[in-house]
Every structure is written in structure tokens, then in C-alpha cells.
Structure 1
Amino acid sequence: MPASQLTLVFLHGFAESPEIWADFTRDFPAGYRVLTPTLPGHGPQPSPVTDYAMEAQARAALAQLDAAGADKVLLVGHSMGGYVALALAEAQPERVAGLVLFHSTALPDTDEKKAARDESAGFVRRHGVEKYMRSAIRPLLAPGNRKRLAAGLKQLEDIATATPETTILGCLEAMKHRPDRTQVLREAKYPVLFIGGHDDPAVPLETLLPQLALPAQSHVLLLRNVGHLGFIEAPELTRRAVLEFAAGIFRDSIR
């Protein structure tokens, strides 16, 4: 990477869009280039998609990085965006300067989680995306944050309900079948930052904690009173953690 610049790539999660990063990345240091790719089937004008597998989504993200001329990058992936980041890192590890799993995991779905995804898909088919999303996003926030963050919750719900049903169903199926990528963490020659919430129902701490020991260089931020959406539940703390992590990588790159 150029000594004067580090590229930070923020990958949004399931039924999200690059819009979730707008406030989070505002006024980042001038030496950091920020890219927020749109994952397949998402965004305000989604293109038709036939393959939602994490590997296919990683290829789509890589195509956007190539178009932007981004070579060595720091990957930040929220939830499903973390699954995509891991697939990207597996495919092209030489391009990764660092990895942030932001409420995400390298583990595959458990049988219980797979069954829950099937139930969600059935609900969507019967009742539609809007009804599903209006009930699915609120529980991702820690209980004490749901009233306090009503505006942020509504923004996420609006983004999610605008996501096509084909994308919702395709991603649910793809996440259900994603492989175990803990080996990516074990083989990482770059530092990894884990950001987790004590009240995260999607990535419980008991499943996240054992992963912290897998990378050779591991950093961690675990937050009380935070669920699955730390970028709006604790924006100052999570933003500072990402910037400090990036600063360490930036310093190493220019030595």
C-alpha cells in the first residue's frame, strides 16, 4: 500500500447497506481512504443476483476494490459482512493488512441456527420482508438501548425493509451453508480485531471468546450493554477501537 495512505473497507451486513457506515466513518483521518462496497442484492438499486454464497459476495466486493484501485486493505465486516471478509481473506490473504470482525464470527451455523434461518425464510415467504424486518431488528439491540436508539433503529428497519425478498431468502440460505473459517484466523499473518457485545443474541460471547486465541495477533473490544449493533449502540467506543487498530497497521506499513 502507499506509505501515505491506508484503505479501510467497510462491509455491511445482511439486509443492510453502505449507508450504515455514513456517520461511523465521517471525518476519518485524511490519511485513510474509506471504501464501503455494496454487497450483492443490497443497496437502493440492487442488480439481479443468482449466487449469494459468501465466496460469491467476496468476489463481488473484490471487483469493487479492483475498480477503485485498492490493493492492500483493512477489512471491517459487520455480521454477514464479516463472513464475506473472511471469505475474501481466504481467497486473497496477501491483500489483507488487517481484519475487524464487528459482531461477527468465523464459526459456521449450528443446527439450531440453521433451523432458525429456515423459520425466518418461511416467515418471509408467508408474511413478506417488511413484517419480518420490523420484528427481527429490534431484538438485535441490547434491551436498554431499544428506546434510546429509536431513530437509529428506524433507519436500519427502513434499509432492511427496502431489501428485495430474493436477497433476504438468498442470503439466509447462503449464511446457513457457509463453512467453518476458523482456519483463516489461525493462518492470518495480519492482526485481527474482534468487537463483541455482551448482549449480542446473534454472536454470543461464549462462541466468540474461544476465537480470540486463534490469530497470532489478536485485539479485542467487548462491550457491556451492547447487542449486535455496536456501530449505533456504542459508536464512539467502536469507532475509536477501529481507528486505533488502523493506526497501528498504518504505523507498521511505513516503517
Structure 2
Amino acid sequence: MTISIQQETARTGAPALQRRVVSTELGLVSVRVQQSAGGVHAARGFPARSAAEVYLHGAAGSWTTFRPLLSKAPDTDRVLIDLPGWGASTAGVRLEELSVETMARAVVEILDSLGYQQWNLVGHSMGGFLALHLAARWPERAASVAAISATTFAVSEAARRPLRSLSRFPPFVGMLLTMRSMAAFGPSGTAVIRAVGTTPVMGLLMSPFFRDPAAVPGHVIRGLALDARPASFAAAVRGAGAYDFGQWRSIRCPVLATRGDSDVFTPPSDLFRLAAVVPHVRLETIPRCGHFANIEQPEHVQRLLDALRST
């Protein structure tokens, strides 16, 4: 059920974003829809003529991490979701029920509510994991998957055995232990992260995410601090620890899986293991890039997305 609609501005040359609030089994979820210029849109109550582009963010972010990919007018509608527990989708969220499966069902509830039957899924980090799960569970509806630095096998293992994983996966394990500690303090823990986000210290803390941290605008770093949701992060990692990756063998659509050449959160082994499980997958390493290719190399990412959708 759609609760409200608001207009928001977009980048120059691109259509405005419509903000909608949709009720799901995990609570109310904030969604942005950027409609194509074709004149007929599922979000207006009409059948979609082509698969919508659905953007799923990571556990360290919100829909705003995809802003660099929104600069040109879309050929089909774009749907950008603040996943339950993140961004503007935190009020009344049922974190005790949060898992990969419940998040996926919430996404499908949203897309059904908006009228989108076919999807080109674009997921970053945790969102890439979720996109692959959606394509496996609803193979008839997923037209393609772009998994940008999806955090998959290594994260799942670290979630089960964090201390054993510390030596080979220190950036993620350190972040996980920090988020778990902050989550134990409730809203006070989130407030601490946001306060640190206004200082130069946040730039140092976020530097492992980027190839060239000095080139990342300050407002991006501050935005990531504002988007920090320790309890949601901890719940998502807990769900990843129990995941059965064999499900991904049922994916039918083309899959693009990328990582940055300096990405410490998605190791090369994750892509190799993905290729052993997922049919029709293309692996790509993006040069001069860390974990956030959608921020550091958006033009490169857009070229890859265009090529994926043309297959």
C-alpha cells in the first residue's frame, strides 16, 4: 500500500524523483521513483513496457549512494529503495525479523505495489547479495543482475566466525565488531557515529572503502556517517551468516559481478566462488577503485550496466 507521494529534485537533465512510502511486512519503506520519458509508467498505475531499474544499497549507505548514476534521463523507470532499517525506512522497522529472505519479500511487495513485474536489479555490497537472492527466488521476473562489490562468501564466513576471520579479513571484521558495539548502546551508538561523521576522523575511518579517499567529497563521507545504522548492519550480517549460496544456481538471467581493484570488502575469491555457483555470470574488476565503484567510478559502472542490459 502506497502511503504518500512527494516530489524531489534530481540532477540537471534528469527527471525529478517521486518519494513514496510503502507498507511491507518489515514496516514502512521509503522509495524513490524516477520515471522515464516514455509517457507510460507503472508507477502511475499503468503496465510497465520494460523492466524497471531497481537499485539496492549496501549496509553502509542508503539510496543516495547511487546518486552518481542518476545524471542522465533513464530509458525505463528507476526505483531506488531505502531498505528496511536504513535511510528513511527506520520508523517501526522490525529488525528482529530482518533476514535476506524477509528483505527480499519486502522489495517484492514494493515492486508489486508500484506495478513493476520485470526488474533489472542493481545492488551494491549487501544490496548485491540481496539482488542475487531476488534473482534466484523470482527467476521469471529478474531480467538482469548487476552485483557491484557484493559482500557474499567472505562476509558470511566472518559472520559465523568473526575472530577466526580477523587475520584475513580485518577491515570487515573490525567494522562488524564496531557496529555490534554501537548497536548495544541503541540510539546513543548511532549518535556517536554521526557526531564523529562531522569531524576529520570520519574520513580516516572510511578510507578503507575507497582507492583514493582524498578525492571523495566531504559531503559523501558525512552522508555515509548519517546513514550508519549499527543495529540494522548487525542484523543483516547475522542473516548472511546462515545463508545457503546453493540457491543461486537457479538464477536464469545475465549477471554482472564487479569489484574494485583496491576493494578490501569484496575479495577476489568472492568473484571466483560466485562464478562457480551462478550461471551466465560475467566478472569485472574495475581499475582505480575501492568498494564504492558507484561513487568512485560511476561512468565505468554505467557503461557496464548499459552493456549488461543490451545482452
Please confirm whether the aligned pair reaches a TM-score higher than 0.5, indicating the same fold.
yes
- In the alignment, the residues of structure 2 paired with residue 71 and residue 14 of structure 1 have an alpha-carbon distance, to the nearest angstrom, of 26
- SS of structure 2 residue aligned to 1:110: helix
**Unpaired segments ≥5 residues, structure 2:** 1-41, 163-172
- In the alignment, the residues of structure 1 paired with residue 110 and residue 100 of structure 2 have an alpha-carbon distance, to the nearest angstrom, of 15
Note closer, same or farther for the CA distance 1:12–1:111 as it changes in structure 2 (3 Å cut): closer
* 8 Å CA contact 1:152, 1:232 repeated in 2: no
- Aligned counterpart in structure 1 of residue 189 of structure 2, from 108, 113, 128: 128
- SS of structure 2 residue aligned to 1:55: helix
Alignment length (residue pairs): 241
Task: Please identify the structure whose Cα radius of gyration is greater.
Answer: 2
Note closer, same or farther for the CA distance 1:187–1:112 as it changes in structure 2 (3 Å cut): closer
Of structures 1 and 2, the one with the larger relative CO (CA 8 A, separation 6+) is 1
Alignment of 1:72-87 (within 5 A): 72-87=118-133
Residues 95-153 of structure 1: CA deviation (Å, up to 9, x unaligned):
111111110044261247741265234431368234387365331112xx100113364
Higher mean displacement: 211-220 or 15-24 = 211-220
**Unpaired segments ≥5 residues, structure 1:** 249-255
Quote how far apart the aligned CAs of 1:72 are.
Answer: 1.2
- SS of structure 2 residue aligned to 1:5: coil
- In the alignment, the residues of structure 2 paired with residue 12 and residue 84 of structure 1 have an alpha-carbon distance, to the nearest angstrom, of 9
Q: Which residue of 1 aligns with 2:59?
A: 14
- SS of structure 2 residue aligned to 1:232: helix
Note closer, same or farther for the CA distance 1:121–1:43 as it changes in structure 2 (3 Å cut): closer
* 8 Å CA contact 1:6, 1:74 repeated in 2: yes
TM-score (norm 2): 0.68
Question: Could you tell me the percent identity over the aligned residues?
Answer: 24
Amino acid at match of 1:170: A
- Aligned counterpart in structure 1 of residue 270 of structure 2, from 194, 202, 207: 207
Q: CA RMSD in A?
A: 2.7
Quote how far apart the aligned CAs of 1:59 are.
Answer: 1.0
Task: Tell me whether 1:110 sits opposite 2:157 in the alignment.
Answer: yes
Higher mean displacement: 103-112 or 237-246 = 103-112
Note closer, same or farther for the CA distance 1:156–1:172 as it changes in structure 2 (3 Å cut): farther
Q: Which residue of 2 aligns with 1:198?
A: 261
- SS of structure 2 residue aligned to 1:109: helix
- In the alignment, the residues of structure 2 paired with residue 67 and residue 209 of structure 1 have an alpha-carbon distance, to the nearest angstrom, of 36
Q: Which residue of 2 aligns with 1:54?
A: 100
Higher mean displacement: 208-217 or 46-55 = 208-217
- In the alignment, the residues of structure 2 paired with residue 33 and residue 224 of structure 1 have an alpha-carbon distance, to the nearest angstrom, of 29
**Between structures 1 and 2, the one with greater strand share:** 2
TM superposition outliers: structure 1 runs of 4+ over 6 Å: none
Higher mean displacement: 2-11 or 49-58 = 2-11
- Aligned counterpart in structure 2 of residue 150 of structure 1, from 196, 209, 217: 217
